[in-house]
Structure 1
Amino acid sequence: MTTVDGEFVRSLDRGLAVLRAFDADHRRQRVTDVAARTGLTRAAARRFLHTLVALGYATEREDEFSLRPRVLELGDGCLAAAGLPARARPHLRALAARTGEPVALAVLDGADTVVLAQAPGRRLLAPVHTVGARAPAYATSAGRVLLAELPPGERSRVLGAAQLAPLTRRTLTDRAALARALDGAAASGVAVVDQELEEGLLSVAVPVYDRDGAVIAALTTALAAGRWAPEHLHAELVPELRTTAEVIGGEPPCA
C-alpha cells in the first residue's frame, strides 16, 4: 500500500492512474471508461485526458482516446539505465531464429510479469509478447521461475496479495499446489505452464542470472500446446533457453 504523506502529489498519482487505465484490452476509451477504471470523476478524467493530448502522449478521435508512442519515453530512462533490453535483443532474435518460436525477456513487478524485450517467431502469426505487456505471475512460466527465486518471506507476501483467478480450466488456483510448482521450478531451474494463462498456449521459462548469481529476469517462450513432445521440449528447447540466458546474464552491464 502506498504511504501518503505531506510530500505525496495526488494530482500526479491520478495522472499516472489515467495512463495505467490503457492496456492491451483497453486501447481506445471514452472519458466515462477512464473514469470508471480509475475511480475519477468524469470531469477530472476529461481534464487529464485532454492534458495528455495537449502534451502529445494521447490522441482523441470520435470521442475516444488512445495513447501515442510518445508514452514510451516515460520508461526509456529506466530501461536505458538497466541496459538489459538492448543487450538481450540480438540474442533473443538469434534464439527465435533457431527455434522458430517467439521469445521474450520479462521481469517481476509486484504480482505481475512485465515484458522488457521480445523477438517474434516464425510459427505464430499473432505476437504473443509485446514490450510492456503485463501478465499475472502465478499463471505464467516467466512468473513462476521469478517467484521461485524469491526469498520465502517475499514470495509469501507477493502471492498473499495476489488473487489466484481461474483464467482457464487448467489454471492453478490452489495455493498449496502453486507452492509445490514453485518449489519444483526452483529445484529444476525451469517452469512449464500448460494452458493456464490462455487455452491452447504453452509457455516455458528459465531464469537469467547476472555474473554475481542474482536473478535479473526470466527468458521465456510461448508456443502452441502440443506442438513439442515433452521429451523434445526438455531435450531441445530448454537447453536453447538456458544457453541464451547464460549469454545474456554473462554480459557486462552497459556503461
Structure 2
Amino acid sequence: MSIARADFIEGMAKGLAVLESFDTERQRLNATLAAQRAGITRAAARRHLLTLAHLGYLETDGSYFWLSPKVLRFSGSYLASARLPRALQPTLNRLAAQTGESFSAVVLDQDQVVIVARSGPTRMLAYGLHLGARLPAHATSTGRVLLAAMNRSAFAAWMKGRELARLTPHTTVDTRRFRQLIEQARAQDFCIASQEHELGVHALAVPLRDMAGRTVAALNVVTSPQRLDEGAFQRELLPLLFDAARELRPLL
C-alpha cells in the first residue's frame, strides 16, 4: 500500500525497523548494531532502543537490548483475530491426525515466508515449525510455490540483484536453476524442496487460492527421509494437499 508523503510517520517507520532488527542471528543488539541493521544513525537507534525499552518491548542491561515477551502481543492479536489462520486450522488438524505428519500454512513476506497456522504431532522436527516462524523463501517449498504465483514481471523484480544463500549442501543457489524451479512449480502447481533449508527434512507445498483464483497462502507438509523417500512422499501426500486446497477455496 502506498500513501501520501504527508501521511507517512518516519519516526514510527524507524522504530519498527529497529524492532525488526532482532532475529535468531542477532538476539541482543547495542545501538551500533541496531543502527547498522535498521539503516539509521547510531544516535537515532539509541533513542529508539531506549523508547522501546521504556514501553516494555525490549529489555536491557544498559548496553545491550533484547526482545521482551510483550512483543508477542502483536502476533497473539493477529492469530486470534485474523481470518486466514482460523479458516485453515481445522483442516490442518485433520490432516495431521490422519497422517501423523506436520502441516503448516504460510504467507510470503518479502524474502521470507511466515507460518500463520500449523498442526502436527508433539515430536518436533528441527525445521522450526512454530507459529510466526520466518523461513527463507528461496529454500522452502512454500516460498517457491508463492513465488511461482507471482506474475513474471513481479518475480523478475524479486530476483533482480538477488544472491541466494546456501543453507545446506542441497540448497539451490544458482539463479538460472532457481528460475527453472519456479517455472516448474508454476507448471506443476506444487513444489518439493528436499533438504534445502535443513538437512533431514523433505517439504512438499501447494498453493491455496481463493474463489477469484488469487494465491493467498501455501499449504505444506514436512517429513524426514527416514519416514518417506521423495517418491513415496509425493505419491501419498500430494493428493491430500490438493484435496485440502480445493476444500479450503470457498473459505478463503
Return the TM-score normalized by structure 2: 0.85
CA drift at 1:213: 1.9
Does structure 1 residue 15 correspond to structure 2 residue 15?
A: yes
Corresponding residue for 1:173? 173
Deviations 1:111-137 (Å, cap 9, x if unpaired)?
Answer: 322222222434435562233322221
The one-letter code matched in structure 1 to 2:148 is A
Alignment of 1:204-243 (within 5 A): 204-243=204-243
> Structure 1 regions of 5+ residues with no counterpart?
none
Q: Distance in 1 between matches of 2:21 and 2:4?
A: 21
Deviations 1:43-82 (Å, cap 9, x if unpaired)?
Answer: 4333222211222222235754332343244466766775
The share of aligned pairs that are identical, in percent, is 37
Corresponding residue for 2:117? 117
Corresponding residue for 2:142? 142
Q: Distance in 2 between matches of 1:72 and 1:58?
A: 12
3-state secondary structure, aligned to 2:66: strand
> Structure 2 regions of 5+ residues with no counterpart?
none
Does structure 1 residue 97 correspond to structure 2 residue 97?
A: yes
Deviations 1:8-39 (Å, cap 9, x if unpaired)?
Answer: 43322221111111123333334444234224
The one-letter code matched in structure 2 to 1:54 is H
3-state secondary structure, aligned to 1:167: coil
- The two structures, once aligned, show a CA RMSD in angstroms of 2.7
The one-letter code matched in structure 2 to 1:50 is L
8 Å CA contact retained: 2:75, 2:132: no
CA distance change for structure 1 residues 6 and 212 in 2, over 3 Å: closer, same or farther?
closer
Q: Distance in 2 between matches of 1:3 and 1:181?
A: 35
Deviations 1:151-210 (Å, cap 9, x if unpaired)?
Answer: 111111112253212222221122221122112212222100011112222211111111
Paired positions, count: 251
Q: Distance in 1 between matches of 2:79 and 2:67?
A: 20
8 Å CA contact retained: 2:204, 2:234: no
The one-letter code matched in structure 1 to 2:128 is V
3-state secondary structure, aligned to 1:197: coil
**Higher mean displacement: 73-82 or 143-152:** 73-82
3-state secondary structure, aligned to 2:160: helix
CA distance change for structure 1 residues 217 and 229 in 2, over 3 Å: closer, same or farther?
same
CA drift at 1:141: 0.3
The one-letter code matched in structure 1 to 2:217 is A
